Structure 1
């Protein structure tokens, strides 16, 4: 994707995850938007046609979007702040998942666990490197090791989105550990407790 297409992709993300009303469309209960309405609404401010939209969907590095079978509908795979059911698959997680965030949120997470805040779910990565990238968007990154297998054994549900992001409604603090040793040492000096 070129710079302009990345800009359009971010705008599509805003519409399909948070604010469809910005371009005067609505989503159905499963988060689907009519493709022709989406194109028409976006084309008022950003040049968009079906060819560009297909390119954005196929080349998005995070695979944020999906078409239905005949490409008449489109939706974001996860990350919604509006209440939609994107028909997530309930799945058994691996033993360990990862969560990246900014350092400023660490104390709160270790006190209260991970909550979705403005989103519907807590987003978890299947690998450490992805969590670092996600955390970098929020300042100095901190990565949490999530004991997902133990959580699942305790009855907590996990879901996996179309693009492979693991999701949960809530991660209690007893299943969270700050992963980087240097960060752990620095935080322990501030009376933050790890939960192995």
Structure 2
């Protein structure tokens, strides 16, 4: 299967569902840090109509440009690197000092609420930020014409905000207030 193979794309979406939002949909469970046995995930994907063998799963994980998933060192367990909406799953991302400026991609229809309320995690555990505007633009583009917001991470951290960095380089925080946001000009 190639990365653009529709079956692989659908299997990846099913993995995100099981590893981030609804493990019960595939009859699996996650531990407190989001791990589940690889064999359980493969059975869960089969239940959802997305059969993969271990080689195909490994190729999907390795070929994921956003490195959404991590496999344990012994190869027996798998988890999503971030983006969970489940209670009871809290990945142990260590606090880290962010770059002075981070970015968030969104779409124009969300901009008014964001500029009024700031960035909130919504159904997820954290607000997701990126170190490059191009990455934020790509994130926003998934839902329409992208809008990129610049986050004054240095000032926010000085105010006491805690930043964490996931294994795949996504910066996480609890909230970004509107006074720490600026609209990045298109381009």
> Fold-level match, TM-score > 0.5?
yes
Structure 1: tracts of 5 or more residues without a match = 183-196
Task: State the distance in 1 between where 2:168 and 2:94 align.
Answer: 12
Report if aligned partners of 1:24, 1:41 keep a CA contact under 8 Å in 2.
yes
Match of 2:137 in 1: 132
Q: Comparing 4-13 with 165-174, which one deviates more in the overlay?
A: 4-13
1:145-174 per-residue CA deviation (whole Å, 9 max, x = no partner) reads 000011111111000000000010000111
Give 1:181 deviation, angstroms. 6.6
Task: State the distance in 1 between where 2:141 and 2:66 align.
Answer: 16
Match of 2:151 in 1: 146
Larger-Rg structure: 1
1:9-66 per-residue CA deviation (whole Å, 9 max, x = no partner) reads 1110111000101111110111011111111121231221111111111110100000
Match of 2:74 in 1: 70
- Aligned residue for 2:43, secondary structure, equals helix
- Aligned residue for 1:90, secondary structure, equals coil
1:53 maps to which of 54, 57, 77 = 57
Q: Comparing 135-144 with 68-77, which one deviates more in the overlay?
A: 135-144
- Aligned residue for 1:100, secondary structure, equals strand
Match of 2:24 in 1: 21
Match of 1:9 in 2: 12
Task: State the distance in 2 between where 1:181 and 1:82 align.
Answer: 34
Normalising by structure 1, we get a TM-score of 0.89
Moved over 4 A (4+): none
Q: Does 2:41 align with 1:38?
A: yes
- Aligned residue for 1:15, secondary structure, equals helix
Report if aligned partners of 2:45, 2:51 keep a CA contact under 8 Å in 1.
yes
Report if aligned partners of 1:123, 1:168 keep a CA contact under 8 Å in 2.
yes
Give 1:137 deviation, angstroms. 1.6
Task: State the distance in 2 between where 1:38 and 1:47 align.
Answer: 10
Task: State the distance in 1 between where 2:146 and 2:114 align.
Answer: 14
